[in-house]
Structure formats: structure tokens, C-alpha cells
Chains A and B, each alone.
Chain A
């Protein structure tokens, strides 16, 4: 590739942790060369949620097609690729196995380094494809499977300072959407409805004990269920937009305020928001508004980088490539993988 420097680092990323089969090629951890996502959402819609066995079957059908498309769009051959990065976990085990085994096959066939990436590290590094990091950095990760606050002092250094004690924020969105009988996936539906209603119902906010950066959404979820149930028992119409707006305000209030307090406590230089729920317009608007007077920049990736994709996996893998943290041929899918620092001895 004439336009590329010999010193450029080119990484192929592969992601199959849930219901998207994705492959991407990223240069120097910052620049997307190609980004291909085959979404299975249409297939899972009929079941009202992701069915793991169905997801695994789609992944095995799509995997080589998706990787080939990423290579074609980048106009690259295997000699251009420096390493293969793949999501090791967390996620659905059967789904992870497809990406992991495909990545191993490619790495083995061309004798390239193999890099095991944590899915959440990927979500964080999606932001680096837009703007480089400034440390210390605070990341709020919100998705169907995760609600976490992660503090980073340097590349590859992750300290989880807060996490959900029960449901993930995205999970709460899905459950409330089901109560309101909204089509799957429920998150965007609630976000849309919330724009049409006033947040007049005072649903609870779980602040937990003072100074805690942990989250809890199960109480809020029960409260929404009770509210809808009571209305129905009294034969009163449920105004879905009011419920959606009130629920969303409750979730966003807690997410934004805890992020703000953590940012102040740790004196961070940058705040980033990542994960599927980062696409939520209420969260995007309110977190920017809260931080506006503070001069701490809040970075939120564009919508297509909030949802699962492989360029974020390649971007996170790029740091491990630089630090020569490679996986062996015995790499396995790890559905419960913990977000640990690359150099454990350096982490605080």
C-alpha cells in the first residue's frame, strides 16, 4: 500500500460477542480504514431479544464474508496486516467462540500475532478513533450488558471505580420497553417516546451510599412496573411517553451525576461515554450540559461507534500490540472476562 508508512501499525479487529458479526481494519489505533458490521437484529426481533444459539449460528454463517468485506474495503492483503485482535469477552460464550476461532485461524495461517481484547476496553477505545486520549481519563460505559465507571491513568490501565450491582442500564431500558409493549430493541424506542412526554412521574434514583460510584437499576425497574400495573388496575390509560420520559430522566440523572462526581474526585482531564446507551439522546444532551461549566471535555462517539463494532476492538488491540501483549493459540472465549490492566504491576 503506497499511501501507508512502513512504520504504520495495521490491525484487523474481529468482534462477535453478541448479535453483530463485525470486522474492521484500523491504522495506528486511531484511524478506521474499513469497518463492516453484519447486524442480526432483524433475525432476533421475532423472538423479542437475542437468542444465543441463533446468534452463534448467524456468526458462523457470516464470519468469513464479513472479514473478507473488511479486507476488500481496505484494499489490503494479509501482508499489510500486523496483527489480529479479537474480542475474548465478556459476552455470549457461543458467539465469542466464533470470533476467537476465526481470529486464531487467520493468525495461524499467516503467522501473525493474536491479540485478546476486552469488549469494554473496545468500547472505551472507540473514542480514540475520534480524538486522542488525555489522562487521567474517566469512561462511563453503558450498554445492554454493562454500566461501569472506569478510571484510566494511562493507555491500557483500567480501574473500575463503579459498576452496577444488579441490572445494566441497557437491560433496564429493554425491560421497561417490554412493560410498555414497545418493539425490540427497546432503548431507541424509549428515547424517542421520551422526547414526546414530560417527566412528571417521580421514579426513584438509586444514589446508594454517599461517595459510591456504583449503580442500581432494579428498584427503578420495579417502580415502573408498579406504576403501570396500578394504572391498569384502575383502568386508567398509561401515557407511554410520560413513563418513558420519567424513566429516562431517572436513569440519566444518576448516570450523569455519578460521572460528574467521579470526574471531580479524580481530577480527570477527559470524560468519555461509550457503549450502546451512549447513543441515547437524553444521556448525550444532559452529560454535555452538566460538564459544560467545568471545562472538562466530554467525548461521545458517533452513533455507529457506540454500538458493537470491530474497529473499537482493533483500536484497543493496538495498545496491546504496542505493549507486546499477545495471546497464545490456546485463546478461548471468556464470557466473564474481567477488565484488568495490561500491566498489572503498574495499576493502582
Chain B
């Protein structure tokens, strides 16, 4: 199996390659630089290093969010167009699930999250046990305070993983949640995780692959609100 993995859903740019079932190349940067101009050069360079041509690829796996809207679209557009034009399967994987997989082989609850501004996060709850990585609470957009209250009902220690950990540390401290500490390097999504997780998710027709924004646009939210008001008034 030859597979390409792409993640541009946060500030991290990640590309990984599998060749004959082996992870042969992986690159991540954690820089405030644009993804659009850098993704294809990185992809090209890694493919060259691995002596792979585009037509050697059997499958593409992409982190399709949640995360930065523009960032996610760059990876998703590149991945879906490559998959469509090469006529190979594409597997969209939750960016949170991919980050949560950094915790392997930890046993217990894992909570990956990305900052979503205004004290909110994109997050979900996952669980590792005996090598099985499973979803416990669906990915969502939620205020961090509300989320920690919900997690408190579990009464179990949780490993939090996030590139935006520092921003929400105070809230986590106040929550009284029993937390497991992870080293700094574990908070950065490794694109090779996507290669490992490809088997756990179904392939989707390339035309139908879109980012999982988890939020409607502000314009649409306002429009829906107006529609509702007009309905109530009329």
C-alpha cells in the first residue's frame, strides 16, 4: 500500500508518505506561515525523496477538520483533487481524531482540542484500550467551560492534547479535572497518524469530500435568525 497523508487544518503543515506499507517520509512545520504556497513543494520534495510518482499512490488520507477554515480547505482541496484526478480512494479523517492518536499507546481517555476563539474549542473525546482507539463523544464546537463541566461527570483522568494548550490551561486548572501530562511534542498532530487511521474510516467519493467545519458561517447564522424572526413576527 502506497499512501499520502495531508494535514493543514491548524497552523501545523503536515505531509506523510507510506510506501509498500511502511511510513517512509513525514514532515511537519509548526510555523505561522501560509499553507497554500508550501504544501505542494513539500509534497513534491517528499515524493522525490521516497522515489515515488503521483501515479504510484493507491490512496489519499486527509485531515478534514475541524480547524482553521481556510487552512483546512487548502489540504482538502489538494487531497480531493489529487484523488479525483488520479482516480484513487480518498479517506477524510477528523483532525481531532488524528491529534488524539498522538497519545498511543496510552490507555484511557484522550481529549484533543483546537482553540476556536471566544473561549470556545473544537473538541471531542476519544478512548484507548488494548490497542483500540474509539470515539466517546462526537467532535463539536463548544465553550471550554461547558466542555470541562461535561467531562467532569466522567470522574476519570483525561489526557489533553492541543497545540493551543497554553491558551486554555487556566480554564483546565480551574475545572478540577484529573489530568494526565503529555510532553510538548505530543501536542502537535503527526500526519503519519492519518496513515495509521486510514483503515478505521470509510473512503468517500472525491466530489463529496468537504471540510468538517462544525459551524455554519456567520452570514448564514444571521440569515437563519432573521428568517426565524420574520416568521414569528409575520
Interface residues of A (CB under 8 A from B): 46-47, 51, 53-54, 56-57, 60-61, 63-65, 67-68, 78, 93-94, 97-98, 100-102, 104-106, 108-111, 328-333
Contact = CB atoms under 8 A, between A and B. Distances in A.
Interface in B1-56: 34, 36-41, 43-44, 54-55
B186 interface: no
Interface residues of B, number: 35
Interface string B60-81: 0000000001100110111111
Given A60-B210, A330-B38, A109 B219 contact: no
Contact of A333 (B36, B40, B217, B218): B36
A28 B219 CA distance: 42
12 contacts: A47-B219, A51-B219, A53-B219, A63-B80, A63-B81, A93-B70, A94-B69, A101-B78, A108-B40, A330-B40, A332-B36, A332-B37
Interface string B125-156: 00000000000000000000000000000000
B82 interface: yes
Nearest to B218: A53
Contacts of B37: 330-332
B41 A330 contact: yes
B73 A110 contact: no
Contact of A64 (B70, B81, B219): B81
Contact of A329 (B40, B76, B213): B40
Interface of B: 34, 36-41, 43-44, 54-55, 69-70, 73-74, 76-82, 84-86, 206-207, 210-211, 213, 217-220, 223
B103 to A, nearest CB: 30
B69 A56 contact: yes
A139 B155 CA distance: 71
Contacts, number: 104
A46 to B, nearest CB: 6
Contacts of B74: 97, 101
Contacts of B223: 46-47
B217 A53 contact: yes
Contacts of B38: 330
A60 B217 CA distance: 15
Looking at B79, B80, B81, B223, the one whose CB has the most chain A CB atoms below 10 A away is B81
A135 to B, nearest CB: 34
A60 B211 contact: yes
Given A51-B217, A53-B219, A56-B69, A97 B77 contact: yes
Closest 6 CB pairs of A and B: A105-B81, A329-B40, A332-B37, A51-B219, A101-B77, A64-B84
A171 to B, nearest CB: 19
Contact of B70 (A51, A56, A109, A331): A56
B210 A94 contact: no
Nearest to A107: B40
Contacts of B218: 53
